[in-house]
Structure 1
Amino acid sequence: MVKKSVLMVVAKYPATYGHTTVINNLCRGLKELGHRAAIGAFSFEGEPPNGVEKVKLNRIKLLKSGVSSLEFDIIHPHQAQVLYYLLFKKPNKPIIFHYHAASNIIQELNLKVSMGLLKKRITKTICVSKKALHHLTYWAGECNATVIYNGVDTNFYHPNLDSPYKKGSPQLLFVSVLRKYKKTSELINAMPELLKKYPQAHLQIVGDGEDFKKLKEIINKKNLGKHVEMTGRIDDEELRMRYASCDMYVSASRNEHCPVPTFEAMACGKPLVLSKLESHLEILDASKAGLGFSFSNSTDLCDKIDKVFQNRINFSNDALKYAETHDLQKFCKRIQDVYDEV
């Protein structure tokens, strides 16, 4: 195997939550495999992980010279919006497009336009799930694509951590940027019903976003301050302790392709209770690590929380087994295989 130099590309770094985690994990894992890995962006609002190169990109230079001006063997963009600059001129090296998601109509239209114009200049597309592949095909037509699920650092997220944030039983956890389509309010609104059977139940919501204030208002209006905690954005060290402190990971989201927190939770041995979204069901079917509940149905949500809690040992064992098959090293070796192929 020939060691390669790889440039991960986003418009702005850090990118959105899941993108950044995947990119950082890839850079660390590829470096451990002996490759040179760097992060390129038009602007940086934070620093890459220790030991990972930072490359400030110039839009005009890319439009004039293309990727030939980038001294890397492989260019690995993670957003459709950067394709215009990378592929305006015909590339002289492999372009591996990593398709994570399009969370709104603007992103979907951008995906359609960029792929319609530039798809033939992309060497290979990596989709983070079968749902992502279906979505890409719907908007861009047939592509030279493969599915590689996100990986998780099982040396960092694991079941032998302390649980300093345990505040209830069952303890529920949701981790995400707080946007409307995440439907976090449905988790909060289900708490009064859940508390009838589990008076000590507690929900922790990790993350920030445009819905933060609205969600706080719902909590206050329902007098759930003792049973629902909103932490805001936290660092990774605290995050893994939050996973360790919960009994299960929950999500009512309506739009995901391969949510990173589900993998981090499973690596900590935590079962899942997820809305019956295509990508959620894909994870549940593959892992056997939890149950799905019907959209906008608090009774079904509470029922599935109850069933998973009662059988949490079996679900936990399945979660750990699945996470091990997607640990960081295996994930990066799958990406490396794509690099070798092209």
Structure 2
Amino acid sequence: MDKRILYILDDPSRDKHVHEYVLEGLREKGYFPIVAYFWRHQDLRSTYANKGFLTLYLNSSVKNHKGFSPRNLWKLVFLIRSMNIKIVHVQRHRLMVYCALASRITGVPLIYTVRLTSVLRNKKRITAFRFAAKRISKIICVSKDVARSLLEATKLDNLPIEVIYNGIDINQYVLPSVTKTQARKTFNLPKEGFIYGIIARLRKAKDHHTLIRAFSSFTHQDNPDAHLIIVGDGPLEKDLKHLVQQLGINERVRFVGRIEPEKVPMMLKAFDVFVHPSFREGLPMAILEAMSAGLPVIGNKCPPIVEILGANQQFGIVCESKNVPSMEEALRKVYYMDRAELSKIGDIGRRRIVEKFSKESMVEKTTKVYDEISKSIE
């Protein structure tokens, strides 16, 4: 069978390591993955094109993407037929609706990966999903909590769900030849002191507000040589900077802005502890990256985060969501912890990634899904 796969993404800003791992794994297994973007990004080019993958654009407008466009549907149908596509794989709800309709018209099997617990957040989306579910051959959920949220929202008990955790290439985050001092110098960070770091979009669900308030309370009470480094951009940047100024901790908190993915391992090397206070997640790659780098992690009691760090906090420290005192206690705990103990927590976390969240495991399980569908249509 000609194994042409259509792997659909919004635009090149959605180019992530997890997609690259899957695409490379499919290619190694003899599939021919074609990446199709619904629209072009004015500033970004596809990173997968540089990796030798065929990339196409449907050239949908943002306006059409947010509503429903019959034109976009027929573009997709034409693409599937003209390219002799055998399987379609989609990642986002709105695009999934198009793909489900295209699947119904063309008869091509559909795989849908769900990465957020909030994907079915209103009746309109639930109705659309219940309709589309009839055309989905496999639903890949990136965590048990994502799977639970789908079942609860749809009230359907026969969904073809498989939980496949996001995977990560741990070797990219181990930098044995780089010292912490060198890493800090790279980003012009404080040479001395204890650095808490967060790498995340500056938006509500990541809950930077709680972290900043907890850090402020901790530093004012204990006055340690601690610093908070906030990496990322987003709609709350102005608001968060105002909060830092209002709390009088400008000299302790630094906003670095967004950094390129290839610079993340070096940034992690500069941190002493990674903090991820998000209260809504699918399965946070930021935590997997930090643990791969050997950093102790403080996370919220958000179910997908608990799946990673362990119900009994075996692999990290878990605090109550949206709770400043709980976060402050966690910040204080790691600051006064013996450095050898911190290193031990980091080592345990890294082993956790190798055993449960490796790139190899994710790729193997995902390609197995493709193999099963391919056999069913031969």
TM-score by structure 1 length? 0.89
- Counterpart residue number, 1:312: 342
The whole-number CA distance in structure 2 between the counterparts of 1:291 and 1:284 is 7
Stretch deviating more after TM superposition (119-128 or 185-194): 185-194
| Rounded Cα–Cα distance in structure 2 between residues aligned with 1:259 and 1:174 | 12
Correspondent of 1:188 among 205, 212, 219:
212
From 115, 118, 126, give the equivalent of 2:129: 115
Q: CA deviation at 1:85?
A: 1.8
Select between 311-320 and 254-263 the one with higher mean Cα deviation.
Answer: 311-320
Q: Who is 1:144 aligned against?
A: 160
State the 1:5 CA deviation: 3.5
Q: 1:308 to 1:209 in 2, by over 3 A?
A: same
- In structure 1, the residue matched to 2:267 is 242
What displacement does 1:75 show? 1.1
Q: Deviations over 1:295-337 (max 9, x none)?
A: 2332321322343452312211111112213222222111111
- Matched to 2:11, the amino acid is K
Aligned to 1:37: 33
Report the RMSD for the aligned CA atoms in angstroms.
2.5
Task: Assess if the C-alpha contact under 8 Å between 1:68 and 1:92 holds in 2.
Answer: no
Correspondence for 2:366: 335
After the TM superposition, which residues 90-101 of structure 1 pair with which residues of structure 2 at under 5 Å, given as runs? 90=104, 91-101=106-116
Q: Give the Å deviation of 1:215.
A: 0.5
- State the partner residue of 1:321: 351
Which AA in structure 1 matches 2:40? F
Q: Deviations over 1:6-48 (max 9, x none)?
A: 3221233323xxx734323322443455543332112121222
Gaps of 5+ in 1: none
Contact 1:129 1:258 in 2 (8 A): yes
Q: How many residues align?
A: 337
The SS at the match of 2:170 is: coil
Shift of 1:244: 1.3
Distance 2:141 2:206 in 1: 21
Label 1:33 to 1:200 Cα distance change in 2 as closer, same or farther (>3 A): farther
Where 1:288 maps in the other structure, the secondary structure is coil
2:57 maps to what in 1?
A: 56
Equivalent pair of 1:80/1:114 in contact (CA under 8 Å): no
Identity across the alignment (%) = 25
Corresponding position of 1:8: 7
Give the Cα–Cα distance (whole angstroms) in 2 for the partners of residues 158 and 288 of structure 1: 22
In the alignment, the residues of structure 2 paired with residue 3 and residue 137 of structure 1 have an alpha-carbon distance, to the nearest angstrom, of 34
Unmatched segments (≥5 aa) in structure 2: 60-71, 374-378
Is the deviation greater in 32-41 or in 324-333? 32-41
Give the Cα–Cα distance (whole angstroms) in 2 for the partners of residues 315 and 337 of structure 1: 33
Q: Distance in 2 between matches of 1:194 and 1:159?
A: 31
Structure 1 202/38 Cα, relative in aligned 2: closer, same or farther at 3 Å? farther
Deviation at 1:3, TM superposition (A): 8.9
Q: What code does the residue aligned with 2:200 have? A: S
TM-score with structure 2 length normalisation? 0.81
Cα 1:212–1:3 shift into 2, 3 Å: farther
Output one character per residue of 1:153-209: Cα deviation in whole Å (capped at 9) or x when no partner. Answer: 223222526332253543111111111122101111111232233611111111111
Residues 247-286 of structure 1 mapped to structure 2, 5 A cutoff: 247-285=272-310
Cα offset, 1:139, TM superposition: 2.1
Larger CA Rg, structure 1 vs 2: 2
